[in-house]
Structure 1
Amino acid sequence: MPVLRYAFTLNAVRELGRLAPDIARARAAASLDASLLHIREACTATLGMEFDTLVCFDARSVVRLFSHAEQARILARLVDERARTLAQAGRFQEALEDTVYAGHLLSCSRQRFGLPKDARAAETLEREVPELP
């Protein structure tokens, strides 16, 4: 069963890699609504959960829902992308809140999964998902 869960998680990371260029293009086009829609769709496709619902809860509670550190990293990456999108649109207070929340997600991931697993999750995400401009 753990192998199946890890395969599902790795598939989620690859799906994020496939969707990352769409998110970057929408942000580059300065289309706030399109960017936010792509972020929501990426969250649903990769994690199977709604983005807006997940970010309503505190980071520790959200990380407890996940079985692998990669899932927490995926959500942190999506929250960070929303922060960048909001900052580009001039909504700096919301962008700052998202940046802080992404940091809390990563911190809670390290606490729950341990530093070695979180470091492997970071390496997997770097390898599979292109860096967004």
Structure 2
Amino acid sequence: MPSLRHAFLLNAVRELGRSVPDIARTRASWDACLERIREACTTTLGMEYDTLTRFDARSVVSLFTHPEQARILARLVDERARLCEAHGRYADALADSVYAGQLLMCSRARFGLPRDARAADVLEREAGTPSPLPQAGE
């Protein structure tokens, strides 16, 4: 059973890796990018993005059985923060960045630093690092 759960999580992380470039490419269109983020959340976590983000980070992390799940959601929330910043919605971008940080903090508190660090390594290896935001004038 644990190997099946691990395979599911690894598949979710790989799916996120496939989705993130699409999300970054559609950042110019608010609706298209937001829809990609929602689709990625449903595909990777099996839960709706809008539902998960309505609750506080501690409650959401308590739903998860592995730190990879919290990291996936934090990555998607961070992508939404980048979308908000690209569209000049700085207050929303800041709120999303804070929420992503809270998800990571709660993940470390719940799963412990060693497990969360391994989850971070897996996510970076499979999904890559977030693409940088274009600077003004680019």
TM-score by length of 1: 0.96
- Give the Å deviation of 1:130: 2.4
1:67-90 alpha-carbon deviations (Å, 9 max, x no partner):
110000000000000001001101
- Give the Å deviation of 1:131: 2.4
Q: Look up the match of 2:52.
A: 54
State whether structure 2 residue 12 is matched by structure 1 residue 12.
yes
Higher relative contact order, structure no. (Cα contacts within 8 Å, ≥ 6 residues apart): 1
1:20-63 alpha-carbon deviations (Å, 9 max, x no partner):
11101101xx1111110100000000000000000000000000
Q: Tell me the secondary structure at the aligned position of residue 26 of structure 2.
A: helix
Q: Distance in 1 between matches of 2:81 and 2:96?
A: 5
- Please, what is the CA RMSD of the aligned residues? 0.7
Q: Look up the match of 1:66.
A: 64
* Structure 2 unaligned residues grouped into runs of 5+: 132-138
Q: Look up the match of 2:24.
A: 24
* More off after superposition, 42-51 vs 5-14: 5-14
Q: Distance in 1 between matches of 2:18 and 2:116?
A: 22
Q: Look up the match of 2:118.
A: 120
Q: Tell me the secondary structure at the aligned position of residue 34 of structure 1.
A: helix
TM-score by length of 2: 0.93
* Structure 1 unaligned residues grouped into runs of 5+: none
- Give the Å deviation of 1:92: 0.7
Q: Identity rate of aligned residues, in percent? A: 71
Give the length in aligned residue pairs. Answer: 131
Q: Distance in 2 between matches of 1:15 and 1:98?
A: 22
The aligned amino acid for 2:24 is A
Higher helix share: 1
